[in-house]
Amino acid sequence: MAGTIAALGGMTQTRHRLDPLLRPASIAFVGASVRPNTPGNTMVRAAAMDGYRGRVYAINPKYDQVEGVSCFPDLAGLPETVSHVVLGVANEYLESNLLAAARHGAKAVTIFASCDLTGAANDPLAAHLTDIARDAGIVICGGNGMGFCNPQIGLRVSGFAANLAMRPGGVALVTQSGSAFSALAYNDQRLRFQLCVSSGRELTTTTADYVDWALDQPDTTVIGLFLETARRPDDFARCLEKADRLGIPVVALKVGRTELSAGFAASHSGAIAGDNAAYEALFDRWGVFSVDTLDQLAANLTLFSAGRPAAKGGLASLHDSGGEREMVVDLAAKAGVPFAAISEHTREGLRLHLDSGLQPANPLDVWGSGLDFEIHVEACMDAMLADPDTAIGVLFQDIRDGSYIAEGFTRAVIRSSAKTGKPVAVVSNYATVNHRALALATTEAGVPVIDGTEEGLHAIRNLLAFRDRRAATHTSASAVAHDVRERWRRRLGEARPFGESEALALLGDYGIATPRVIAAATQDDVLAAARETGFPVALKTAVPGIQHKSDVGGVRLGLGDAAALMDAYAGMAARLGPEVLVAEMAPKGVEIAFGLIRDPQFGPYLVVASGGVWIEVLRDRAVALPPLSLERAQALIGRLKTSPLLDGGRGQPPADRRALATALARFSMLAADLGDLIDEMDVNPLMVSDRGCMAVDALLLGRHAGRQHDELH
């Protein structure tokens, strides 16, 4: 939006619609109280706890002052129109007070209460509040939230604030969990925030809005999310794209990752994807890093907020324990964190500072006799950081308060960090070591301290991955002709269901190799078709309504002569019906599956999986949003646990990975062009061999054709 404002603290910046909410010039607390240890008292006391210089008012007809703040009977009695009104009142008083805020002319409101009067599923209060706010042009934080903190201007808007001072930093945290807000904001000063928001029910202002605001702030270095759902999916996707474009990492803890929807899926791809797959695909598209716990979230935010990008190469690590070094090596292999391949020149430099018996290697056990250890630790870290293959230097040590050894080690790495632009960190292997003061001092000196080996390695892996994503190049497959795309869009707009042969024809038009297929419904036609394609052949039922042919004995492969074909057809026709497809046999190879699923929130996404009849048993899959470059397609295939099978072995030549990646990239183009008209699509299996990649079976459920649930058994 156009226009500028003079921001608190002297900074001038472009106006954002959330400025009245998150950086108000004035604020009034309705429901202020003199009773200690209540939200009404805490919210007033906390407002200026970190130095907020805006104008603060309390609202309650019972008092003249609350915590030294002038108190007025109502908003109408204020000497000015405030930017922001905080409603620290119970649910039954919310509607009247929001109306009063609208009459007053406030542009922002924070609500802590649940916005629920009855407990019923259709309780109307939240909807009424939303309507009032939208009509008045008010943005709301909450309800059912813990408020927010903006340490950049020293403001806390929370009825549940802790006394721990909050120092400004680069982390923007948006959480839909109030407990996660309290856990990360009010316990450890190593995490320094640009913004911390408990978004609650998001009546008018969603996670995407807060992220968009944070991305416009020059101090933001990393975004953290605790996410249950994206209430406005299009806006959420746009804000992730914006973060990726600006080069600001996003770390997300997505909860509610069940597979409830799998039971309702008609395709194998839908069955193995689960409810969370669309979010996985969205995060993959925009480089969002997923974490599973609050500890992982904090570790990633701590490392990314230090603001130093990883250099090329891998991890260089120092240890004061040979045993713990071995543990870190094992866990690094599990986490996929590579170690730097240090040069002989670096090794020579290390030798000068190691006691007899210690090997100059990476990872490095640096502890010997302890004589002048601080000097030697610094020199060794300097040498490791100077190596051209070192991306990041990390001290893995259980530092603790009151230990002269820990203090010496941390002083050494702080000095080393000051000499380089590469990231430097400390990771404690024991997460509950007593190091609160030392960890904070070390972090504030520019060397972030992370608790827990696995948490530290997880963050290091993501820092390296963020570097690689920024440097990646992308090659796109050629587009299909406009008339081909439009012809298939017209066909998908019809109510007529798709058979396998038509689904294979669609794949063929998008440049994916398929076998020759001929439909038949009599013995003579079946035999003629086989002679035309050439033996051996595959025989498949084509009876309408049978979606998964192999499940009902509707597929016979490798029929080598007329006698075998006639016998197979007689049995299949008797059990399932006379309509069949006769297809040429694809070369033997590794079985892979492609899938397309249209998510109601985020649109079509892709699934690549281990294929064949065991697809739902193995549940080995990766997901992504279309379209895919050839490089992204290769990376997606590489995530499969069965991906090493493509490399051959035991007498089998390596499969053509490039042909498979090309097929996946072209399938992703199909999804991008036509996915809005397709509910689900399975291509299973694709046979991948040294001779290429061929799709031998396909199931397509058009959006307009309706689903056929009369599968025969």
Q: Cα angle vertex 140, ends 135, 145, to 5°? A: 145
Q: Are residues 563 and 597 in the same domain?
A: no
Summarize pLDDT for 3-44 with one digit per residue, the tens: 333 444 434 455 899 999 999 999 999 999 999 999 999 999
Helix (H, G, I), strand (E, B) or coil at 108: strand
- Strands 364-365 vs 314-319: parallel, antiparallel or unpaired: parallel
Q: Are residues 384 and 283 in the same domain?
A: no
Boundary-marking domain end, from 567, 585, 603: 585
Other Cβ atoms less than 10 A from the Cβ of 474: the count is 9
pLDDT at 585: 87
Bond into 338 cis (ω within 30): no
Helix 453-471 with 294-305: angle, nearest 10 deg: 50
Boundary-marking domain end, from 585, 605, 635: 585
Transcribe 596-662 into DSSP letters.
EEEETTTEEEEEEEE-STTHHHH--EEEEPSP--HHHHHHHHHTSTTGGGGG-BTTBPPP-HHHHHH
Q: Are residues 122 and 270 in the same domain?
A: yes
Contacts of 651 (CB under 8 A, 6+ apart): none
Contacts of 245 (CB under 8 A, 6+ apart): none
* CATH number assigned to the domain comprising residue 435: 3.40.50.261
Summarize pLDDT for 405-423 with one digit per residue, the tens: 999 999 999 999 999 999 9
| CA 599 and chain centroid, separation | 16
Tell me the helices (H) and strands (E) count for the chain, helix number first.
Answer: 23, 31
Q: Are residues 279 and 348 in the same domain?
A: no
Boundary-marking domain end, from 302, 323, 353: 302
- Strands 193-198 vs 168-175: parallel, antiparallel or unpaired: parallel
Beta bridge partners of 621: 609
Nearest Cα neighbor of 595 from 574, 579, 616, 581 is: 616
* CATH number assigned to the domain comprising residue 557: 3.30.1490.20
Q: CA dist 488 to 156, 484, 493, 598, 702, Å?
A: 56, 6, 8, 17, 11
Summarize pLDDT for 261-290 with one digit per residue, the tens: 445 455 555 555 556 889 999 999 999 999
Q: Are residues 245 and 195 in the same domain?
A: yes
Q: Are residues 524 and 506 in the same domain?
A: no
pLDDT at 4: 34
Q: Are residues 30 and 115 in the same domain?
A: yes
Range of the structural domain that residue 626 is part of = 475-511+589-713
Q: Are residues 108 and 212 in the same domain?
A: yes
Q: Are residues 296 and 213 in the same domain?
A: yes
Q: CA dist 390 to 139, 322, 325, 450, Å?
A: 47, 21, 18, 19
pTM of the model: 0.89
* CATH number assigned to the domain comprising residue 662: 3.30.470.20
Q: Are residues 290 and 327 in the same domain?
A: no
Instruction: Quote the number of domains for the chain.
Output: 4
Summarize pLDDT for 531-555 with one digit per residue, the tens: 988 899 889 888 887 777 777 888 8
Summarize pLDDT for 607-653 with one digit per residue, the tens: 999 987 767 777 889 999 999 999 999 999 999 999 999 998 777 89
Q: Are residues 329 and 406 in the same domain?
A: yes
Pseudo-torsion of CA 347, 352, 357, 361, nearest 10°?
Answer: -20
Q: Are residues 567 and 621 in the same domain?
A: no
Average pLDDT over residues 576-595: 90
| CB of 155 closer than 8 Å to CB of 168 | no
